[in-house]
Amino acid sequence: MQNGQIIKIHSDFYYVVSDENQFELKLRDVLKKQQKKICVGDYVEFENGYIIKSLPRKNFIPRPSVANIDQIVIVSAIEEPHLDLHQLDRYIAFGEYCGIDIKLCFNKNDLSTNEEIIDKVFSIYEPMGYDIIFTSALEKLGIEDFKEIMEGKTSVLCGSSGVGKSSLLNALNPDFHLKTKNISEKTGRGTHTTRHCEIMTISENTRIIDTPGFSNLKFDFLLPWEVGKLFREMKPHLGGCKFQNCLHINEIDCAVKEHVSESRYESYVEFVKEAKEYKERIKYEGKKKETFEKQNNNKTAVKISAHKRQGSRRTLKQQINIEEDDALSLIHI
């Protein structure tokens, strides 16, 4: 039996590295049925071409599904596509939810001459303690800074399509030969070039997981009062409001709102709205379950044991035999 780490999953095949050797494996049927899905980054035990056991995880990101990482590097573009601070806040909040260290990388710096954007980024995110770097994969600017924040860690690159994640990795190591595409002139958005998660080795202790771009992440799995915990600037002030159940939106004497920038606050309100949808959904499902239980409260199904059923059949058979005997006796008379 050997131990190794999953670096890529393609169709039904799991590619595992163990002692610098790569193995193409499949899952045992029992692992396919379990609730915990095996993903890239998982450490596993395997033998005879099959993964037989998944080992405990250090951490886990549900989307994209990745395990055992040290940090999330969120890549955004200064231009093409235009910098979307609300989308950036969405990624940051998701990283905070997962409890994993976050780094911010702003790519395509060569396309922007607007110093106000750069100043705005620093003024919003640097006071919260986020490490920030500016890069240009095309001009090879900031690549050493990019490499430095990756050093000695397993990092996940995440960000919307077209921000230049694959281009940055190619700039870091030209041997990767990752596919890249231009921004669509029609939509102003990027197109997916990365189709799956894969761990790529930069050096002995430095690895990067490139992930497909996505933009449909919603916080419809949280309750409204949990959203504030995902904003670093809000956390120190959450207990200082006049009302204990303050959502920091329309309530008076709120101790939180004044500590949040305008764009971040807009993101917060949007996330709370999504969380309220989740609250209404579970409330509806709870009422639906309660109604079902009330409707079926007085209905009881009577079960007959196999033993009693057998007894009933024997009794019925005896009665038939008695009736047949009586009929025969009448014929003889």
Q: Is the pLDDT of residue 12 over 50?
A: yes
Q: Across the chain, which distance is largest between two alpha carbons, in Å?
A: 120
**What pLDDT shows up at residue 331?**
40
Any idea what the CATH number is for the domain that residue 48 is in? 2.40.50.140
Q: Mean of the pLDDT values across residues 14-28?
A: 93
What is the pLDDT confidence band of residue 320, given thresholds at 50, 70 and 90?
low
Domain range for 243: 224-291
**What pLDDT shows up at residue 188?**
44
In a domain, 314, yes or no: no
In a domain, 322, yes or no: no
Name the domain count of the chain: 3
**What pLDDT shows up at residue 109?**
77
Shared domain check, 37 and 156: no
Q: 56, 75, 95 — which closes off a domain?
A: 56
In a domain, 325, yes or no: no
Shared domain check, 262 and 150: no
Which carries the bigger pLDDT value, residue 208 or residue 113? 208
**What pLDDT shows up at residue 329?**
47
**What pLDDT shows up at residue 282?**
83
Q: Mean of the pLDDT values across residues 134-159?
A: 91
**What pLDDT shows up at residue 35?**
73
Q: Is the pLDDT of residue 315 over 50?
A: yes
**What pLDDT shows up at residue 162?**
81
Above pLDDT 70, what percent of the chain? 78
Any idea what the CATH number is for the domain that residue 231 is in? 1.10.40.50
In a domain, 160, yes or no: yes
Q: Is the pLDDT of residue 163 over 50?
A: yes
Shared domain check, 189 and 102: yes
Q: 177, 210, 243 — which closes off a domain?
A: 210
In a domain, 308, yes or no: no
**What pLDDT shows up at residue 113?**
63
In a domain, 316, yes or no: no
What is the pLDDT confidence band of residue 159, given thresholds at 50, 70 and 90?
confident
Shared domain check, 112 and 19: no
Shared domain check, 180 and 92: yes
Shared domain check, 232 and 202: no
Q: Is the pLDDT of residue 237 over 80?
A: yes
Q: Mean of the pLDDT values across residues 256-283?
A: 93
What is the pLDDT confidence band of residue 333, given thresholds at 50, 70 and 90?
very low
Tens digit of each residue's pLDDT (9 = 90 or more) over 272-306: 999 998 888 887 777 656 565 556 665 545 455 55
**What pLDDT shows up at residue 236?**
94
**What pLDDT shows up at residue 254?**
95
What is the pLDDT confidence band of residue 95, given thresholds at 50, 70 and 90?
very high
In a domain, 313, yes or no: no
Q: Mean of the pLDDT values across residues 185-196?
A: 48
Q: 188, 210, 232 — which closes off a domain?
A: 210
Mean pLDDT lowest among 41-55, 256-270, 319-333: 319-333
Shared domain check, 238 and 163: no
**What pLDDT shows up at residue 321?**
59
Shared domain check, 256 and 169: no
Shared domain check, 109 and 67: yes
Q: Is the pLDDT of residue 119 over 80?
A: yes
Shared domain check, 102 and 38: no
Q: Mean of the pLDDT values across residues 202-206?
A: 86
In a domain, 52, yes or no: yes
Shared domain check, 192 and 66: yes
Q: Is the pLDDT of residue 325 over 60?
A: no
Any idea what the CATH number is for the domain that residue 80 is in? 3.40.50.300
What is the pLDDT confidence band of residue 184, given thresholds at 50, 70 and 90?
very low
Shared domain check, 273 and 179: no
